Amino acid sequence: MATTQSQSGSEDDATLGVSALVIALAVIFVALRFYTRIFTRQGLQWDDWLILVAVVTTLVTIALLLWGNAVEPNGLYVSENTDPDYVYTAQDVFYLKLAFCTSVLYFTIAGATKLGILCMYYRIFHVSLAFRYQLFLSAGLIVGWWFGYTVATLTNCTP
């Protein structure tokens, strides 16, 4: 029994370690991207700013998740609880509010990243008129996806 618990703990530590490494690399690469764009005097474009929005929103989301887990370490259990007789504590409610905020922010992160990639494609491959129209159509679909899922998530919560 103790072996299973230690394996679960080590898996959690490994997941946290890999997540921290990936996020640190993302911040470093975005900083290097801004440095090279400014240093080479190419100027910053829409794709740079959208990627920056995605990274900053990711950092805010991580801070909210860590805050929620510090307040309520058993928050995941609370968020999956289906017992109608369960009495929610103040920490449970706070954790659920933070989890709700992070679920809304997720779509901003994903949408900004996708739009940033499309803007980079536009900057690099804007020669073909047909390709530009496809990029604009894709960008419209992404904005619609972001708006639809954000509204759906915001209206999903029934107190």
| Model pTM score | 0.77
The answer as to whether 89 is a domain residue is: yes
The answer as to whether 29 is a domain residue is: no
The answer as to whether 24 is a domain residue is: no
Measured between alpha carbons, how far is 126 from 135 in angstroms, rounded to an integer? 9
Distance between first and last Cα of the chain: 39
| 3-class secondary-structure state, position 50 | helix
The answer as to whether 59 is a domain residue is: yes
- Amino acid in the structure at residue 1: M
The answer as to whether 50 is a domain residue is: yes
> Rg for the chain (alpha carbons), in Å?
20
pLDDT < 70 regions, the chain: 1-9, 11-12, 157-159
The answer as to whether 131 is a domain residue is: yes
Note whether 142 and 118 are within 8 A (CB): yes
The count of domains in the chain is 1
The whole domain housing 67 covers 45-156
pLDDT tens, position by position, 67-110: 888 888 877 777 777 888 888 888 888 888 888 889 899 999 99
